[in-house]
Chain A
Amino acid sequence: MATTRPTKSTAAAKPATATRKPAARKAAPAATRGAKKLVFPSVEWFAGLAALAKADEAYRKFGRLNATVVFVAGASAIEVTFDVLDIHSIRKVNENHMRDADFVVELAPELWTAMLDDIKKHGHATQEWTLNTLDLRLDEPIHANLLDDGFKADMFFRYNPSLQRFFDNAAQLDFTVKVAATA
Chain B
Amino acid sequence: MVQTTRKTARAKGEHAGNGATNGATNGATNGATNGAGAGRVIPTPATPPAPLMVEPPDLSWMDKTTGWGTRALPDLVHGGGLTIDALNIGTYSKVPDHFPYRNRLPRGAYPSPIAGSIGGYYLQDKWEQWADCAGQMYEEGISRRWSTATDVPWETATGLPDDVEIALCQVATELSHQGSIETEVVCSWLQNLSPGYHEVKLFLATNVYDSARMFEGYRKRGMVNGGGMLFESPGRMNRAVMETFSGWTQTVLGLWFLRGALQLTILRYLAAYGPTEADSVLAARMIPDRMRAAAYAVDHIRQAIAARPDQRVAFAMWLTNLELAQAADAKDPVLWEALAVALGGGVKQIDAGMAIVRRLQHDWVQSYIDRARSAGLERGTDLGRPYQAMLAEGATAAT
Contact = CB atoms under 8 A, between A and B. Distances in A.
Interface of A: 1-6, 12-13, 15-18, 20, 61-66, 83-86, 88, 127-128, 130, 132-133, 136-137, 149-151, 154, 157-161, 164
A133 B145 CA distance: 23
Contacts of A157: 264, 268, 287-288, 291
B125 interface: no
Contacts of B146: 61
Contacts of B271: 130, 132-133
B291 A137 contact: no
Nearest to B373: A150
B170 interface: no
A65 B363 contact: no
Contacts of A154: 291, 294-295, 298, 374
A17 B77 CA distance: 43
Contacts, number: 107
A8 to B, nearest CB: 14
A64 B399 CA distance: 33
B3 to A, nearest CB: 52
A64 B144 contact: yes
B45 interface: no
Contact of B363 (A136, A150, A160): A136
Contacts of B79: 84-86
Contacts of B370: 150
Interface pairs A-B: 7 shortest CB-CB: A63-B144, A150-B374, A63-B143, A158-B291, A86-B78, A64-B143, A133-B272
Contacts of A6: 399
B355 A2 contact: yes
B201 interface: no
A162 to B, nearest CB: 8
Interface of B is mostly: helix
B345 interface: yes
A16 B349 CA distance: 13
B215 interface: no
A149 B284 CA distance: 23
B268 A136 contact: yes
Given A64-B80, A132-B271, A136-B363, A150 B298 contact: yes
B398 A2 contact: yes
B371 interface: yes
A136 B272 contact: yes
Interface in B66-94: 75, 77-81
A31 to B, nearest CB: 19
7 contacts: A2-B397, A63-B140, A127-B274, A133-B272, A136-B268, A157-B288, A161-B284
Interface stretch (B4-12, B275-283, B329-337): B275-283
Given A2-B398, A64-B139, A151 B295 contact: yes
Contact of A130 (B80, B272, B288): B272
A149 B374 contact: yes
A97 B284 CA distance: 30
A159 B396 CA distance: 30
Given A18-B277, A86-B78, A157-B291, 19 more contacts: A4-B396, A12-B399, A13-B399, A64-B140, A84-B80, A86-B79, A88-B78, A127-B272, A127-B274, A130-B284, A132-B284, A136-B272, A150-B298, A151-B295, A151-B302, A151-B374, A158-B287, A160-B287, A160-B288
A2 B374 contact: no
Contacts of B156: 18, 20
A93 to B, nearest CB: 20
A138 B144 CA distance: 28
A48 B159 CA distance: 39
A18 to B, nearest CB: 5
A49 to B, nearest CB: 18
Interface string B345-359: 100000000010001
A150 B299 CA distance: 11
A18 B345 CA distance: 12
A127 B399 CA distance: 15
Contacts of A64: 80, 139-140, 143-144
B219 interface: no
Nearest to B137: A158
A157 B363 CA distance: 14
A36 B156 CA distance: 39
Contact of B399 (A5, A20, A63, A161): A5
Contacts of A83: 78, 80
Nearest to B288: A158
B272 A137 contact: yes
B301 to A, nearest CB: 11
A3 to B, nearest CB: 5
